[in-house]
Amino acid sequence: MRTYGNWIDNRWAAPSEGAFIDSIDPTTGEVWAQIAGSTAVDVDSAVRAARTAFTTGPWASMRAAERGKLLCRLGDRLAERADDLAALETRDNGKRTVDILPGLQTWLADSFWYYGGLADKVAGDVLPVDVPGIFNYTRREPFGVVGCITAWNSPLLIAIWKIAPALAAGNTVVVKPSEHASVSTLALAEVFADLLPPGVLNVVTGFGDRCGEPLVGHEDVRMVSFTGSVPGGRKVAEVASRTVTPTVMELGGKSPQIVFADVDLDDAAHGVAMGLFPPAGQSCVAGSRLIVHRSIQDELVERIATVAASARLGAPTDPATQIGPLANEPHFRRVLESIARAEREGARRVLGGSPVTPEGTCGWFVEPTIFVDVDSASDLFREEVFGPVLAVVPFDDEDEAIALANDTSYGLAAGIWTDDQLKAMRVADAIEAGTVYVNNYFTSATQSPVGGYKQSGYGRENGTAALDAFLQIKSVWLNTAPGIANPFPQE
């Protein structure tokens, strides 16, 4: 079993209080590694290393074009080491290796290639200000040290979506991954060690209150990018407000999938099931509310149930596995409690709902679960389960479908399944969410922004918007006229 310290200044550093946290493999339930249980002292060491790297040394003097080429090399390195990193993430959080690997080899490596290409395209403006004798221009500048806090469901994806634009903008970074899944992020930093100058990328691990909060509140951390739950985001935003630190919030969701009566029922069944069950519901954009035209509800639910029930649950390292375990025991218990609460609220379970123990696992698995007769006022309709649990509600007309879809405090994503593209565009315009899928789900690309409306957060990841989030604007006014007038001329 390996014990990991913090990654600070391109080297391992033991936690100041000598505390460690067990990393538990959700497939076996066994401790497979240990990570540092860090405190404000360790956070301060990391921030100081990042600050030094930002103000002095090779990173501070590196030209944007050189920085861009370096980021492209990080993308190459990520693709080269994808197998090792994917294996670590599977042990960290039970995500299927076959789901992690392609990302690391292609579209996550592309994050570094895409932002590497943008690094020397960060331009300011010369403004045609109507002020005689004045030349005005702007510069877009990095913040300095930025703090990146990530969740356990896709640690490498979430960290890379922050690290790549943050570095492209010229910042230095301190990452605090989730205490439930920190190893793959630590390994990512180590894999980059010979490419990045010391202090440019640092990783400190530990609990949210003891390690995450000191990072957010540190006076030298000039911007924070957070990915996690709404409660977690609220706490981070509150602490950040004390030092007026700007934040980006990528929070939870309870995303609707609207199915109109004009679709092919097998296609819709495949699509809705694909929008929730493969990651065991553990995706922030998972489509966990099915809003279906009343005329096809029973038939569609039956077909979704057939598709979902056929999924093979098992060890995430087994290529034959189609749904892996829930990522940690507390979350496994929370999902079961959500199911029990849904039944107490009167919803009718038509599929699943029970834990299962596939061979060779410790049993932190929950069957794909479907509830109908769901009250739109119930917790099941309103609260994120972050598990393989679909809540079904019927509608009769388009306006009612839109109203039900938007009847949530969240606004992260939505799916629309219809054969009528004009209807799809009309409904997409009316949906209050940062991402809308039409006849597809979970699709993403580095070029396209991701983020929430309402309490799903603010700010964007991916696209040029993510680079803008890691930059601040300075306006410079040059006086080109001779002499400076006396402010108090005497007659």
Cβ-based nearer residue to ligand TXE, 44 or 120: 44
Residue 380 identity: L
DSSP per position, 382-409: HS---SSEEEEEEESSHHHHHHHHH-SS
Phi-psi domain of 454 (left: phi exceeds 0; alpha: psi -120 through 50; beta: other): left
Instruction: Return the closest-CA partner of residue 66 out of 219, 185, 195.
Output: 195
List 91, 162, 222, 235, residue binding ligand TXE (CB under 6 A): 235
- The piece of 11-19, 78-86, 207-215, 360-368 that touches ligand TXE (CB under 6 A) is 207-215
- From first CA to last CA, the distance across the chain in angstroms is 85
Site for ligand TXE contains 151 (CB under 6 A): yes
Instruction: Report yes or no: 424 and 405 within 8 Å, Cβ to Cβ.
Output: no
* Number of residues forming the site for ligand TXE (CB under 6 A): 29
- The piece of 75-83, 117-125, 231-239, 338-346 that touches ligand TXE (CB under 6 A) is 231-239
- The piece of 225-233, 262-270, 301-309, 462-470 that touches ligand TXE (CB under 6 A) is 225-233
Provide the annotated active-site residues. Answer: 250, 284
- In the numeric block, which tokens belong to residue 29? 């339930």
Instruction: Report, in Å, the least distance between residue 53 CB and ligand TXE.
Output: 23
Q: What CA–CA distance (Å, rounded) separates 325 from 94?
A: 6
Instruction: Report, in Å, the least distance between residue 240 CB and ligand TXE.
Output: 9
Residue 12: count other Cβ atoms within 10 Å of its Cβ: 14
Site for ligand TXE contains 212 (CB under 6 A): yes
Cβ-based nearer residue to ligand TXE, 20 or 260: 20
State the residue for tokens 């789901």.
Answer: 99
Instruction: Return the closest-CA partner of residue 364 out of 384, 334, 340, 339.
Output: 334
List 27, 111, 202, 227, residue binding ligand TXE (CB under 6 A): 227
SS3 66: helix
Radius of gyration of the chain (CA): 24
* Sheet with strand 389-395: strands edge to edge: 348-351, 369-372, 389-395, 289-293, 256-259, 413-417, 435-438
List 28, 229, 317, 322, residue binding ligand TXE (CB under 6 A): 229
- The piece of 89-97, 248-256, 296-304, 417-425 that touches ligand TXE (CB under 6 A) is 248-256
List 15, 165, 198, 208, residue binding ligand TXE (CB under 6 A): 208
Instruction: Report, in Å, the least distance between residue 212 CB and ligand TXE.
Output: 2
List 70, 100, 166, 284, residue binding ligand TXE (CB under 6 A): 284
Site for ligand TXE contains 232 (CB under 6 A): yes
DSSP per position, 174-191: EEE--TTS-HHHHHHHHH
Cβ-based nearer residue to ligand TXE, 26 or 177: 177
List 103, 144, 199, 228, residue binding ligand TXE (CB under 6 A): 228
- In the numeric block, which tokens belong to residue 222? 């000039």
- In the numeric block, which tokens belong to residue 230? 């709404």
Instruction: Return the closest-CA partner of residue 225 out of 286, 185, 186, 171.
Output: 171
Residues 417-456 binding ligand TXE (CB under 6 A) are none
Instruction: Report, in Å, the least distance between residue 211 CB and ligand TXE.
Output: 7
Q: What CA–CA distance (Å, rounded) separates 243 from 117?
A: 33
Cβ-based nearer residue to ligand TXE, 42 or 213: 213
DSSP per position, 428-482: HHH--SSEEEES--S---TTS-B--SGGGEES-BSHHHHHHHTEEEEEEEEE-SS
Instruction: Report, in Å, the least distance between residue 343 CB and ligand TXE.
Output: 22
Instruction: Report yes or no: 335 and 326 within 8 Å, Cβ to Cβ.
Output: yes
List 50, 88, 236, 273, residue binding ligand TXE (CB under 6 A): 236
List 25, 92, 110, 179, residue binding ligand TXE (CB under 6 A): 179
List 92, 250, 318, 367, residue binding ligand TXE (CB under 6 A): 250
The interface mask with ligand TXE, positions 336-375, x = CB under 6 A, is: ----------------------------------------
List 42, 89, 318, 384, residue binding ligand TXE (CB under 6 A): 384
| Residue numbers at the binding site for ligand TXE (CB under 6 A) | 149-153, 176-179, 208-209, 212-213, 216, 227-229, 232, 235-236, 250-253, 284, 384, 386, 412, 457
